[in-house]
Structure formats: C-alpha cells, structure tokens
C-alpha cells in the first residue's frame, strides 16, 4: 500500500543535500504514488483510519510504517525534541487536564468555550488555563477555533477519550505513581552495574517511597492511586483480546469438569477487581461450580458487586493455598507472571502446582510470549517497565519453559492469537499427569484463534 512505498522509497539525503536534490526526491515520491500531489497524499492519509479500523494487524503495520517514515525524515534535533521535550509533556498536560476537570467541562458543554469560561468552570487561573489549552491544542487533545476574533475550544476524539473511566484513571496512575520511578531508573542501573533488580522488593519504588522490603503492589496499596490502578487494569483487560477468544474453553475446561455446584471451576490468581472472572462466568454460564478471585486483602476489597457465582479469596500467593481453592478445574494468571523475576515466578507456580489436582487441574498463563525476532515495540517497552517496577519481565517461550519445569509443571500447549499484540495462553499441567491434557501427547505450540476457527 502507499505507506509502505513511502517508507521504502523516500529516503532523505545526507547532511549536505541541496533544495534541488530535495525537490528531486519529492518528485520521486510523487512518481511512486502515481504522480499524485502532496495534497492528494494527505487525502489518502485521511482515509487510513477508516480502512484499518477493523483490522488490528493492518492498523499496527500502518502505525509502524508511519513511525519508520518519521524516523527516516526527521533531523537529529527533531528526534531529540520529539523524544525528550515533546512526548513527556503530552502525558503530563493530559494528566493536569484530567485532574482539573478540563476535558469533562468541554465534553459536557453545548458549545465551544473560551479560555476564560473554562478557567471559571474549573476554578483555575486564567493565564495558566490559556497556556495549558495552547499545549493541548498543539497535539489535538482539544480543538481551537477563532470565532469573531475570540479563541474558543471544543472537544476532539482525544478529549472524549479522557472522560472515559480508563481515560480518567490512567493519567494520574501512570504519570503520578509510575513516572517518578521511570525517571530514577537510569541512575539506579548506573549504580548497580546495569543489572535487573535482584528482587521485586529492591526497586526504584522502594527508594522513592522509602518502603524497603515491599513489592510495588504493596506500595501502591498505601497510596491514593490504588482505586485508579484497579480501574486501569480492568479497562486494560477489556481493551485486549479476551483470553477465551484464543483458548477453547468448552473443549478443554467445561468438558470433564466436576458438575458439583460447590466445586471450584476457576481461580483467578491476582484477579484484583474480578473483571476477568466475571467476564468468563458470563461468557460460559454452562460451566459448573464457583469462580474464585484470589488476591491480597487490599485488592479484593475493591472487588465489589460480584455476581453470585464469583467469590473473593484474600490470599498471598507466595503462601500455600487454602483448602477452599484447592483442586480447581483451572488456575488462571493474567498479567501476573510478568510482575516477577524467574525465581519468584517458580515459587508462585510451585504453590499453584501443590494446589492442583493431578490429572484434572490445569494452569493457564495469559501473558505475552515474546518472539525472539522483531517483537512488537509495546512488548519491548513493557518488558523494561516490568523490570523497573517489579524486577519482572515479559518472557520468551524458553524463559516460560524454564520456570514451568522448575516448578514441577509441564507446558502442554501455547495458544497464540492471530494478531501481533494480544497475549497468548500458556497451558500447563502437573508434570507426569498427561490425562489432564485430553489426549494431547507432549508439548507443542498451537497457532490458533478460537474466534477464527
């Protein structure tokens, strides 16, 4: 498609190229696009959102191509400015706008508002509001209009994004809780010889909050951001492919499950607000038994209004599991394994293995299985995020196999989504009990998407 042609064929010249050479390059670009003008190119670009909205892989390919094109044509100063001087302020200015109610004010207004009207409604200083609006308008977070000599502001799609539950929870949670640690991470690495934190209780968060010996989630529970964190994670789950779209639940879990209504069907480990257990229960009403949400007391306390078949269980998964959650049909971990280093993950998996019923129970790990070659950029950035906040990692298949085997489990399948960014489902059973695997012999990968099969 046109974007790929631009990326491959429009290469800027070296430092000394002339305007004439630039014009030749521009004409080459036009020729590559079929002699269409730059204005027509802009028109083509405007059509892209509609073309890619229903195809996640195509959308990611276009975004990657745009990023590659930007990196090719920008100057060194453009690159420095974008990464260090512009991008940080996008998140900070949006966080300020969320905190002061600016986006809600614009969305709820029947007509565009002046800076003075916004400042009055938000109880903010006029000069500050004008300068913040100028910044937000520069990257389309709000839209500025000139009406009869007066500048007014109206909402954009981005404005509306930051009035949703996810949009209002994410900015303070990320900017105010996480960002201070990000800024300290380079110095931490420089001081320890560029090694990952030795444990999840020896990170920059321990330094910043002066809470030695505490994991990041224990630290979070002491801050005002715990509620925003719960909303963020539940909405983050909703924005990604549901694990049941990748894994054949009926064939591998519902069939053969204990029909006793008091049996345990699912244990959602580290389930926080219970969003995954609730959605799974709703998707599979025919599944027998109970759905348990297992997490620390501070986390399950926020799991309110649970449906009748979903029950909270306050528990530390580094300790042996209580009888009420032993022998479940399956144990489920989404965004948990990546929180921990290899030794900690082995300890977590070992406790799960002890609670499992050999020949009956399965463990499902719903996380990225990072490709060895050219993983998605978000996977790479999240890997460093997990390293700095908890000493964790986004794992390759080899790293998963190592931890699973050391815990006395056997990796029986990997169910991979067809898109390039959703999480896989790593299926495990107690080692030496192949009857749990419904006749599947050995360990192998399944490139599957249940929705497409």
- 371-416, pLDDT tens digit by residue? 999 898 889 999 999 999 899 999 999 999 999 999 999 999 999 9
- 36-46, pLDDT tens digit by residue? 567 777 787 78
Among 45-54, 199-208, 219-228, the minimum mean pLDDT is found in 45-54
pTM: 0.78
What's the pLDDT score for residue 113?
98
CA torsion, ordered 303, 307, 313, 316, to nearest 10 deg: -40
Q: Reply yes or no on whether the pLDDT at 5 is more than 50.
A: no
Alpha helices in 240-321 (DSSP H): 249, 275-283, 297-300
- Average the pLDDT over 65-79 and give the result: 89
Angle between helices 2-9 and 19-32 (to 10 degrees): 150
Nearest by Cα to 442 from 409, 410, 404, 398? 410
- Average the pLDDT over 437-441 and give the result: 39
- Residue 446: CA count within 13 A, CB half-sphere: 18
Q: Alpha carbon of 120 to those of 102, 112, 126, 132: distances in Å?
A: 11, 14, 8, 14
Q: Known catalytic residue: 179?
A: no
Write the DSSP string, 48-68. HHHHHTT-HHHHHHHHHHHHH
Q: 262 with 239: CB under 8 angstroms?
A: no
What's the pLDDT score for residue 6?
28
- Residue 99: CA count within 13 A, CB half-sphere: 15
What structural domains and CATH numbers belong to the chain? 2-73 (no CATH), 78-161 (1.10.10.10), 165-228 (no CATH), 240-452 (3.40.50.150)
- 16-26, pLDDT tens digit by residue? 444 455 455 55
Average pLDDT over the chain, rounded to an integer: 87
Q: What angle do CA 237, 239, 244 make, to 5 degrees?
A: 60
Share of the chain above pLDDT 90, in %: 67
The three-state secondary structure class of 88 is: helix
Share of the chain above pLDDT 70, in %: 86
- Average the pLDDT over 129-133 and give the result: 98
Higher pLDDT, 354 or 178: 354
Active-site pick, 215, 338, 376, 388 = 338
Range picked from 50-54, 62-66, 205-209 for highest mean pLDDT: 205-209
What's the pLDDT score for residue 223?
94
What's the pLDDT score for residue 91?
96
- 112-128, pLDDT tens digit by residue? 999 999 999 999 999 99
Among 77-81, 229-233, 292-296, 343-347, the minimum mean pLDDT is found in 229-233
Tell me how far apart the alpha carbons of residues 159 and 33 are, in angstroms, rounded to a whole number.
34
Q: Reply yes or no on whether the pLDDT at 230 is more than 50.
A: yes
């Amino acid at each position: 498609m046109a974007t790929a042609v631009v990326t491959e064929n429009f290469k800027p010249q070296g430092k000394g190229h002339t305007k004439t050479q630039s014009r030749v390059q521009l004409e080459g670009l036009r020729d590559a696009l079929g002699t269409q003008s730059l204005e027509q190119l802009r028109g083509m670009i405007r059509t892209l959102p509609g073309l890619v909205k229903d195809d996640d892989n195509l959308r990611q390919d276009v975004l990657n191509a745009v990023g590659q094109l930007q990196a090719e044509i920008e100057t060194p100063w453009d690159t420095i400015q974008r990464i260090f001087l512009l991008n940080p302020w996008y998140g900070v200015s949006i966080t300020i706008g969320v905190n002061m109610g600016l986006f809600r004010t614009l969305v709820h207004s029947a007509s565009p508002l002046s800076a003075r009207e916004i400042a009055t409604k938000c109880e903010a200083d006029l000069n500050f509001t004008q300068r913040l609006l100028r910044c937000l308008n520069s990257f389309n977070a709000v839209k500025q209009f000139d009406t009869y000599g007066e500048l007014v502001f109206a909402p954009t799609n981005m404005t509306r994004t930051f009035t949703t539950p996810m949009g209002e929870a994410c900015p303070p949670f990320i900017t105010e809780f996480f960002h201070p640690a990000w800024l300290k991470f380079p110095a931490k690495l420089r001081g320890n010889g560029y090694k990952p934190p030795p444990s999840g209780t020896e990170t920059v968060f321990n330094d910043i909050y002066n809470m030695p010996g505490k994991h990041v989630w224990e630290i979070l529970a002491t801050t005002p951001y715990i509620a925003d964190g719960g909303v963020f994670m539940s909405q983050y789950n909703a924005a990604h492919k549901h694990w049941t779209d990748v894994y054949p639940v009926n064939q591998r879990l519902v069939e053969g499950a204990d029909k006793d209504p008091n049996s345990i069907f699912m244990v959602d480990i580290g389930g926080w607000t219970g969003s995954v257990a609730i959605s799974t229960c709703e998707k599979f009403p025919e599944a027998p038994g109970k759905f348990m949400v297992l997490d620390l007391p501070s986390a399950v306390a926020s799991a309110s209004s649970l449906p009748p078949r979903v029950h909270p269980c306050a528990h530390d998964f580094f300790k042996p599991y209580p009888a009420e959650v032993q022998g479940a049909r399956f144990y489920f971990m989404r965004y948990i394994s990546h929180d921990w280093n290899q030794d900690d993950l082995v300890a977590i998996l070992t406790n799960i293995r002890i609670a499992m019923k050999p020949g009956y129970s399965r463990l499902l790990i719903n996380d990225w299985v990072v490709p060895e070659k050219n993983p998605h950029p978000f996977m790479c950035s999240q890997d460093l995020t997990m390293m700095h906040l908890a000493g964790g990692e986004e794992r390759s298949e080899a790293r998963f196999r190592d931890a699973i085997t050391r815990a006395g489990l056997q990796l029986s399948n990997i169910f991979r989504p067809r898109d390039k960014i959703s999480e896989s489902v790593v299926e495990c059973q107690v080692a030496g009990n192949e009857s749990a695997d419904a006749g599947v012999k050995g360990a192998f990968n399944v490139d599957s998407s249940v929705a497409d099969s």
